[in-house]
């Protein structure tokens, strides 16, 4: 049985496993653990400097040192550090997971990522809106309904060419499975067949993470063999 890692995004970014019946049963058990949003305090990081450091750890220091840093407050994401290079780093929470993820409300999820300028323009708005809806008490079904309605009205941003993000933090907690983490890059494109990237084929290093609708993009994941600090990272 070969695990397939799936990430969600700007948002953010958790991992799920696609596998046979035993794993599907485990996923159902996990979903029963996280049926709805936990109390907000369980998602917050009380030490603001610790959250800033965790967000920066998503990308190599040469990128994240000049990036804009966001931290999660009680009313949404707030700017903690102004940036200079157009990159934006933040720590996503579980509600940015794929909608089919069993851990959509898992309060342990901490997904540091660093968007490049193109993704900051066209993918980061999803982080802002889904966080706004989650903090307002909306259910997963209601968040899905909002995205479907916004897509139908052509209100969702188009993916800018070249949109991508770094998810190379050694300290991330992306899933309850296995070692909870995976060093990888994520690339966003308009909706397309994953075969155009050779994704999910035998021995291909590329995986399809998400494929809309309701989100108007396809997300490709490419695992990398090192963490943002340059030390070796395990590959799937």
Q: Does residue 137 contact residue 37 with C-beta atoms inside 8 Å? A: yes
Structure confidence at residue 5 (pLDDT): 40
Q: What would the mean pLDDT of 83-92 be, rounded to a whole number?
A: 98
Whether 229 is covered by a domain: the verdict is no
Whether 230 is covered by a domain: the verdict is no
Q: How confident is the model at residue 15 (pLDDT cuts 50, 70, 90)?
A: very low
Q: Does residue 30 contact residue 103 with C-beta atoms inside 8 Å? A: yes
Half-sphere exposure of 32 (CA within 13 A, CB side): 6
Q: How confident is the model at residue 21 (pLDDT cuts 50, 70, 90)?
A: very low
Whether 174 is covered by a domain: the verdict is yes
Q: Does residue 130 contact residue 144 with C-beta atoms inside 8 Å? A: no
**Distance from the first to the final alpha carbon of the chain:** 12
Cβ-proximal residues to 108 (8 Å cutoff; 6+ apart), any chain: 94, 173, 176
Question: Does residue 229 register a pLDDT over 60?
Answer: yes
In DSSP terms, which residues pair with 78 in a beta bridge? 71
Q: How many domains does the chain have?
A: 1
Structure confidence at residue 1 (pLDDT): 29
Whether 235 is covered by a domain: the verdict is no
| DSSP 8-state symbol, 38 | P
Distance CA 65, CA 88 (A): 10
Minimum mean pLDDT range among 29-38, 85-94, 103-112, 131-140: 29-38
Q: What would the mean pLDDT of 125-153 be, rounded to a whole number?
A: 95
Exposure of 99 by Cβ count < 10 A (0-12 exposed, 13-18 middle, 19+ buried)? middle
Range of the domain at 129: 5-223
Whether the bond between 171 and the residue before it is cis, its omega within 30 degrees of 0, is no
- Compute the C-alpha angle 143/15/236, nearest 5°: 160
Among residues 92, 81, 79, the alpha carbon closest in space to that of 14 is found at 92
Q: What's the pTM?
A: 0.87
Minimum mean pLDDT range among 65-69, 175-179, 194-198, 221-225: 175-179
Whether 59 is covered by a domain: the verdict is yes
Q: How confident is the model at residue 30 (pLDDT cuts 50, 70, 90)?
A: low
| DSSP 8-state symbol, 160 | P
Cα 2 to its chain centre, rounded Å, is 22
Average pLDDT, the chain: 88
In DSSP terms, which residues pair with 110 in a beta bridge? 173
Whether 191 is covered by a domain: the verdict is yes
Structure confidence at residue 187 (pLDDT): 98
Q: How many residues does the chain have?
A: 236
Q: What would the mean pLDDT of 121-131 be, rounded to a whole number?
A: 97
């Amino acid at each position: 049985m070969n695990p397939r890692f799936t990430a969600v995004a700007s948002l953010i970014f958790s991992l799920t496993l696609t596998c046979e019946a035993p794993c599907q049963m485990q996923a159902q058990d996990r979903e029963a653990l996280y049926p709805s949003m936990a109390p907000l305090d369980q998602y917050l990081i009380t030490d603001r400097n610790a959250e800033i450091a965790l967000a920066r750890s998503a990308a190599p220091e040469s990128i994240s040192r000049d990036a804009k840093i966001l931290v999660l407050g009680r009313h949404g994401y707030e700017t903690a550090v102004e940036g200079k290079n157009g990159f934006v780093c933040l720590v996503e929470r579980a509600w940015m997971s794929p909608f089919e993820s069993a851990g959509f409300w898992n309060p342990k999820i901490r997904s540091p990522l660093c968007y490049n300028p193109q993704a900051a323009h066209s993918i980061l708005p999803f982080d802002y809106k889904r966080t706004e809806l989650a903090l307002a008490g909306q259910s997963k079904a209601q968040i899905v309904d909002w995205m479907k309605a916004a897509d139908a009205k052509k209100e969702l941003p188009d993916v800018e060419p070249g949109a991508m993000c770094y998810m190379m933090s050694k300290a991330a907690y992306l899933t309850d499975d296995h070692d909870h983490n995976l060093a990888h890059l994520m690339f966003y494109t308009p909706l397309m067949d994953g075969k155009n990237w050779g994704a999910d084929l035998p021995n291909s290093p590329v995986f399809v993470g998400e494929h809309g609708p309701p989100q108007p993009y396809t997300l490709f994941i490419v695992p990398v063999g090192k963490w943002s600090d340059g030390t070796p990272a395990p590959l799937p």
